[in-house]
A and B are shown apart, each in its own frame.
Chain A
């Protein structure tokens, strides 16, 4: 026996409203969780800010829509609660891990060479903030799940004869969204604020401190931002730059590194400790002097402590075996920097020989792997059968 048309229409309406309700909840949570970052960092020249936020928004919209639709399917409050409980848990995971794995995913999609690298590893102390945020998300979404069918009944009764949502129906549908948005803001405060504040501080220090004519120390005292942190690298800075998070350690050290690339080629690392800018320094010595010495002699310069690179014996032997290819003055090119990973290319103009090396870590810098690469010069083209790691 088939259900009457009326029942089918009611069911369709219920599913449609469930989907809308879920999408709106996902959207409100996403807005609360990431709009503060999008606004506050909009002028800070942060690399790949919006792609990672968009990924997060998409994920929450999908989860919300799916949750709302599924919860409307059985029409039972208990099932709805269970579904929203699961959705709330997943949403918490998305919000909590977006600054880490989500950001890594955005980098992977933007640059395929970085695919698979753990660029922004999850910082375990962030778990505590995620747990609190998750508590509020779960509590609110479970209550909304419990009420979903009854709320949607009211909404459905306000739908016009032609099937369109009336103003009152929309009002009833969006009524709980300020609460969801508020919970999103709490999640933002707990999960995203350390990373956002670090980038804001570095941007402010560069923006104001770069051209400030007076004493940076006095300015720091007056404004409460340690502008003096950039005094050692101020001359290298140009007006145009981009920022990215280098590494995150929210544990006892509570330290973040923000990496700034300037259009004149300058490359600065800034250390932010406990929401205070500590100091900025030139990031290039290990990748220039250190790498050059490593290529030609197998050792980093003893008289340059900031050039140090950690290399194991196997890696050193591999490099030494190819050192004659880099005789003269090889050209070192920064191919990419993703978080604490740096991909460098060394070319020997004379022989046309080239190798690409991947480094990891900010302090200390460690050589991860190298490989020979084909160059444009056919006489020096060599096939690379070197294993990806030493």
Chain B
């Protein structure tokens, strides 16, 4: 080994490979979870679990998830085979029964926890019955599953479509951008709920009354804002130095979008999605309320509220038809909004370091 080589190796060892330490800063190795998730995602999660608002939101959402998971324990289904989402009914009479009324016929099995908690032997309508004698408690508990399914399905699918359309549009620009954005604007020109209502009504004869027509309608008219937001973000990000640097070293388009641009631009979409999840459930309930959703008697909060339509003038007496499913809906939406709010705070560059 020549003297020049040795001195060259020595010189190369002396090149600083770490960032220069600055006053007040300390350098440390990444810990397990930080390494696993990456710094940005770790900061996001840490912020979520340390922000009181988001903790409240997470608590609410987790409660709903647990209620959905343990629905067969909280409200055992009547049918031993068949569809457990059909709400058991205590007869067919139009007059709702108040909370605490005893089951007279067709009662589902008494839950195992019921006697221990209430000390009663008689299985009662905990939240009363709606018009048609549908048990509201059963509908609210099993409706949690419907709400979670509809919310997650609509939001995740709309986000996926929006991301694809927005990314292609912003990255390639030109005629593709024009075409995709004009399509987006056409979809945006329709009033959201009215368009979803119309499409859902068209789909019902095709697919039957089920969870799918309103879900599909909400997806089809719900992806545009994600496309617009991600387009704006990518338009700004694609001119940044790190994208240029990646382009210079020969990264292909797909790599640029997936590896470099999307990971740095997706955060606003997460905030939007968390807000939209509550909205999607509200819109789903609205469609059910208007009669283009699930079949009659399906455990769905919107439909239970719709049973109050005939009793709208006597809601001082029959308040329970609206209050229980309505409060479930409001708290569900609130939970997601709190999470969204906290996410926005965490990701807002102006607030970085202030929270989370």
A327 at the interface (CB under 8 A from B): no
Question: Would you call B160 and A139 a contact (CB within 8 A)?
Answer: yes
Residue B81 at the chain A interface, CB threshold 8 Å = yes
Interface-side segment among B241-249, B250-258, B313-321, B347-355: B250-258
Q: Are B81 and A132 in contact (CB under 8 A)?
A: no
- In the assembly, what is the distance between CA of A76 and CA of B258, in Å? 13
Report the separation of the CA atoms of residues A136 and B78 in the bound assembly, to the nearest whole angstrom: 31
On whether A223 and B258 interact (CB within 8 A), knowing A132-B207, A136-B157, the answer reads no
Which residues of chain A have C-beta atoms less than 8 A from B75's C-beta?
A: none
CA distance A76 to B216 in the complex (A): 32
Q: Which residues of B contact A128 (CB under 8 A)?
A: 206-207
Q: Interface size bucket, B side?
A: 20 to 34
Main SS of the interface on chain A?
Answer: helix
A225 within 8 A of B: yes
Residues of chain A within 8 A of B255, CB atoms compared: 77, 150
B residues adjacent to A (C-beta < 8 A): 36, 78-83, 86, 88, 105-107, 153, 157, 160-161, 164, 206-207, 212, 216, 252, 254-255, 258-259
Task: Verify A77–B78 contact, CB threshold 8 A.
Answer: no
Question: Are A225 and B79 in contact, with the CB atoms below 8 A?
Answer: yes
Q: Is the CB of A139 within 8 A of B161?
A: yes
Measured between beta carbons, the chain A residues less than 8 angstroms from B258 are 77, 146-147, 150
**Which of A76, A77, A275 meets B83, CB within 8 Å?**
A275
Surface stretch bound by B, among A199-207, A234-242, A300-308, A309-317:
A199-207
* Chain A residues within an 8 Å CB radius of B83: 197, 275
Q: CB-nearest residue of chain B relative to A201?
A: B81
Chain A interface size band reads: 20 to 34
The reply to whether A200 and B82 contact each other, CB–CB distance below 8 Å, is yes
Contact between chains at A225 and B157 (CB < 8 Å): no
- Scan A189-229; emit 1 where CB is below 8 A from any B CB, else 0: 01000000100110110001000000000000111110000
Are A223 and B80 in touch, CB under 8 angstroms? yes
The one of A78, A200, A208 in contact with B254, judged by C-beta atoms closer than 8 angstroms, is A78
A172: nearest residue on chain B (CB-CB)? B36
Known: A136-B157, A139-B161. A224 touches B259 (CB 8 A): no
Interface string of A121-146 (1 = CB under 8 A from B): 00000001100100010011001001
Say yes or no for A168: interface residue by CB 8 A criterion: yes
- A288 shortest CB reach to chain B, Å: 31
- For B35, the closest partner residue in chain A by CB is A168
A201 to B79, alpha carbons, bound, how many Å?
Answer: 10
Is the pair B212, A201 in contact by a Cβ cutoff of 8 Å?
no
Question: Which of B82, B107, B160, B259 is the one whose CB lies under 8 Å from A201?
Answer: B82
Query: How far, in whole Å, are A140 and B159 apart by their CA atoms in the complex?
Result: 12
How distant is the Cα of A179 from the Cα of B32 in the complex, in angstroms? 25
User: What residues on B are CB-neighbors of A150 within 8 Å?
Assistant: 255, 258-259
